[in-house]
Structure 1
């Protein structure tokens, strides 16, 4: 079944319900949302040759047209390739090339330079004049979405490991339907009066959460800032009511800080789903005290989107259980669509309370990595997805994460992969060695710190900043540089990042010279 059928059906049964808002301004009702997505799909098909199985990339900030285009691509049987708008065009271009996308939609239609995109791919403006004309004067009569198979590709999500290039996660129509269905069972109710707010990038988890709200006929709200602004969220909550949104823990912290300064008690917010990084116990306790029992938690990965474990608002806020504190510090229990185990290196389950690797199995687990059978075989063993995260299960099934076996840095809710930053630094002629780690930061969760061994002397941190800007997205740049005479290594020559973390924690970086804060 094509997921676009949910929009088609809602457009028929709730035609006058508010569907898309830019701030408080109504952009489209559900009848208009469905008609616009169908018309855009017909235009993509007729003018750009997009048909069943084709990939279409979206490289743009949040906007109402984002959802219209997403459903337009699904409508004609295509697959969307949402790309983090913060990426450098060269990085986005690599993803577009790997996905063999026929089309990329950007805010202006002029983001990429000549040679940045493959010959078969064209860039057009999302919501541009051509698209507006297609919506105003459709080329054909309205028709339902194209039928697709359960296992057909719907969403190609690019993630990265600590080594190599990004990998395309194949998410099928069945994967996403099961993700959306289980949300109401395990995370939170989905109500027609909800206002689903997109304060986090729609290219990631926030965007994935659109499907259940479309099915329920709830309203989708894109802030006028097109991002996360605590004052704006407060105003929208007070004006619209029943706000539901996904937020990284650092966003929650910023919202709580604003609430304390403004004397705001969370009025108009129904549910905040947090995930994507560690939520510290003290921060969660303060959030509950300031904003009330509005918080639900999810733990997932791109490879099993938003669907490994969860804690409902009731479980997060509960304080009448003997293990209430440890439960609140956990990431919850297995969601209803999956099985979760903790295993040793031989994939054997460890005893309750013992630490091992978290593995997950179920209908939301990806079909595999796009055209990468070796990576797929390494990640999925006998149907079990190896998450790379370490944790332990208690007797009641609550999972507590203890560490990440991968060295991914989570800053402001966004994943930053050290290998990418290291490779960018190592292309500088004066950088001999580089090792990048995450270090706790009070606002962003973690900050990027680069330990640098130079070939000589006299390299300024500003020059390294400028160099990084030409290689990678700005948000990935190190916030601090520590110049050292050598990097600590084991007998095999592997850099001991644990030692680097200890040095930072103790305030004794192994070498003279430290860059900006």
Structure 2
């Protein structure tokens, strides 16, 4: 099938299906300017408007703009230049937002790093990115100290643990952590006069796992960031009048959290209400107090809110666009109707969006396509329509040719926010990016209206409470144990986590047992990645010498159920 004719037909169908009030083209509220320039604009035009709310502290746009310039000045004084990578190793807190925007302001590259990482994971991303400056919290210094000598890191800026209180509180820096500067020094530094405006320069390395090894850095620019925020706002009919209030407790080191808790509010001149983690009581209070208009959570999160003993004490009617992610329990009509009955008919619970780190995550949305619950009654998962400016097609896994509507195949995406490539990995880039299209590896179909239906993830990906776990990475980390000969990791379903990684291990030492290896693994990788372990003498193999993981699946499920 000819791709040009395929897209012409598909776009015409999608134009007819697009909800009223949704633009067909992306609209940039302030034009195509950088993220720090957006902050500077709102600081000039609504200086006292809340930009960030964190626990008991509110930071206005005037204060945020000043902090960004001062921290940018500190980074410049520390030798950071355009193109240098700055690792931001923090949980949800205002310092994360300031550090990210400060790096962008001076043309540096933002590298968000998971604060749940153990030493080997942290060392990999610092080495791979080449980050010489790390911004972190004092509670995370011990893990950084373990690996600092193995990395290019020469400067550390450290803030007090955000959960302890004010961000200017003196951090606790143990001697073994090495030299570090307190956040207060950066917050008081003379502001930078530098303002890099190149929207197409490398601006972020967002790391994602893969099927062939350790995480890879997805190269993103500020144009990618800006397009994502603007196209998302258009697709969900958000305005830049200051009324956009995003409650964000999902991690902002995730690119989805970055979109919700950083980019959306700053581009629209709204407010980001950040919480360090999920807490039902805090979420209820924050929605009510700050009149949040949108948030993202699991279906289980919404059910926990509904069952909360103090639910009736809070007014959640401002939450007009609550978004769900169906990681374990799936969103269904029963949950949706229960939510609307409790909160009010103006609060419609829906699935969030289809996307991935490589595309900046928000590629298609079912927003405003819920008449008669058709989005939830359709073949799951119903992803709706591409956001303005994005094309999504379904093609043959084998040939890459577009498939007729209704047929199942590989989902491919082309948009202004698709990554430039994988950092320093041209072969991986060539496999995933072809003629401007990203090969996602996901199974899906497009129906006669042009709606996307997602039918399954890449077969190797494991989802643990929404966190992505790639078997190849776990296998590599486990193989570093001196008594491990070889490893095969597969998924098992789990009633609370969704899925559970299970590792089958051949040992070189008969003394190695599964409990000891699991304990060791907990020191090497984030908790959600730690697998159940079974020691085996041999693997089932194919005639070409590959492990038959399909044959391990039943054993993995039995082990998970038994555990």
TM-score by length of 2: 0.81
Structure 2 residue 46 is the aligned partner of structure 1 residue 14? yes
Aligned-partner SS, 2:354: strand
Instruction: Summarize the Cα distance change of 1:261–1:150 in structure 2 as closer, same or farther, 3 Å threshold.
Output: closer
Instruction: Summarize the Cα distance change of 1:460–1:255 in structure 2 as closer, same or farther, 3 Å threshold.
Output: farther
Q: Which residue of 2 aligns with 1:73?
A: 103
C-alpha deviation, 1:273, in angstroms = 2.8
CA separation in 2, counterparts of 1:286 and 1:454? 49
What is the aligned counterpart of 2:219 among 170, 193, 207?
170
Instruction: Output one character per residue of 1:290-320: Cα deviation in whole Å (capped at 9) or x when no partner.
Output: 32213342111111012322111x32x4326
Aligned-partner SS, 1:450: strand
CA separation in 2, counterparts of 1:439 and 1:472? 19
Q: How does 1:355-370 map to 2 (within 5 A)?
A: 355-370=408-423
Q: Which residue of 2 aligns with 1:208?
A: 259
Contact 1:159 1:166 (8 Å CA) reproduced: yes
CA separation in 2, counterparts of 1:56 and 1:407? 31
Q: Which residue of 2 aligns with 1:252?
A: 299
Structure 2 residue 239 is the aligned partner of structure 1 residue 239? no
Structure 2 residue 338 is the aligned partner of structure 1 residue 305? no
Contact 1:271 1:296 (8 Å CA) reproduced: no
CA separation in 1, counterparts of 2:465 and 2:376? 27
C-alpha deviation, 1:328, in angstroms = 6.1
Instruction: Output one character per residue of 1:482-504: Cα deviation in whole Å (capped at 9) or x when no partner.
Output: 45554333222322223333455
Instruction: Summarize the Cα distance change of 1:79–1:456 in structure 2 as closer, same or farther, 3 Å threshold.
Output: closer
Q: Which moved more, 1:56-65 or 1:194-203?
A: 194-203
Q: Which residue of 2 aligns with 1:121?
A: 154
Structure 2 residue 439 is the aligned partner of structure 1 residue 414? no
Instruction: Summarize the Cα distance change of 1:117–1:208 in structure 2 as closer, same or farther, 3 Å threshold.
Output: farther
What is the count of residue pairs matched by the alignment?
495
CA separation in 1, counterparts of 2:40 and 2:394? 41
What is the aligned counterpart of 2:90 among 60, 72, 78?
60
Instruction: Output one character per residue of 1:353-381: Cα deviation in whole Å (capped at 9) or x when no partner.
Output: 22211111121111111122111111111
Contact 1:151 1:174 (8 Å CA) reproduced: yes
Contact 1:93 1:116 (8 Å CA) reproduced: no
Aligned-partner SS, 1:110: helix
CA separation in 2, counterparts of 1:157 and 1:296? 23
Q: Which residue of 2 aligns with 1:404?
A: 457
Q: Which residue of 1 aligns with 2:190?
A: 139
C-alpha deviation, 1:431, in angstroms = 4.2
Question: Greater relative contact order (Cα 8 A, min sep 6): structure 1 or 2?
Answer: 2
What is the aligned counterpart of 1:343 among 384, 392, 395?
395
Q: Which residue of 2 aligns with 1:331?
A: 383
CA separation in 1, counterparts of 2:395 and 2:336? 33
C-alpha deviation, 1:405, in angstroms = 3.1
Contact 1:187 1:311 (8 Å CA) reproduced: no
Q: How does 1:243-282 map to 2 (within 5 A)?
A: 243-247=293-297, 251-262=298-309, 264=311, 267-268=315-316, 269-275=319-325, 278=327, 281=330
CA separation in 2, counterparts of 1:327 and 1:337? 25
Q: Which residue of 1 aligns with 2:530?
A: 477
Q: CA RMSD in A?
A: 2.6
C-alpha deviation, 1:349, in angstroms = 0.8
- Stretches of structure 1 that go unaligned for 5 or more consecutive residues are none
Instruction: Output one character per residue of 1:161-202: Cα deviation in whole Å (capped at 9) or x when no partner.
Output: 021222111111111111111011223524623332221111
C-alpha deviation, 1:343, in angstroms = 0.9
CA separation in 2, counterparts of 1:433 and 1:368? 31
Instruction: Summarize the Cα distance change of 1:267–1:290 in structure 2 as closer, same or farther, 3 Å threshold.
Output: farther
CA separation in 1, counterparts of 2:242 and 2:562? 49
Aligned-partner SS, 2:448: coil
Aligned-partner SS, 1:465: helix
TM-score by length of 1: 0.88
C-alpha deviation, 1:258, in angstroms = 4.1
Q: How does 1:18-37 map to 2 (within 5 A)?
A: 18-23=50-55, 25-37=56-68
Q: Which residue of 2 aligns with 1:196?
A: 246
What is the aligned counterpart of 1:90 among 120, 128, 131?
120
Contact 1:303 1:365 (8 Å CA) reproduced: yes
Instruction: Output one character per residue of 1:267-300: Cα deviation in whole Å (capped at 9) or x when no partner.
Output: 423323334x64654x433431232213342111
Contact 2:414 2:438 (8 Å CA) reproduced: yes
Q: Which residue of 1 aligns with 2:176?
A: none
Q: Which residue of 1 aligns with 2:17?
A: none
CA separation in 2, counterparts of 1:343 and 1:33? 45
Instruction: Summarize the Cα distance change of 1:89–1:195 in structure 2 as closer, same or farther, 3 Å threshold.
Output: farther
Q: Which residue of 1 aligns with 2:548?
A: 496
Q: Which moved more, 1:151-160 or 1:427-436?
A: 427-436
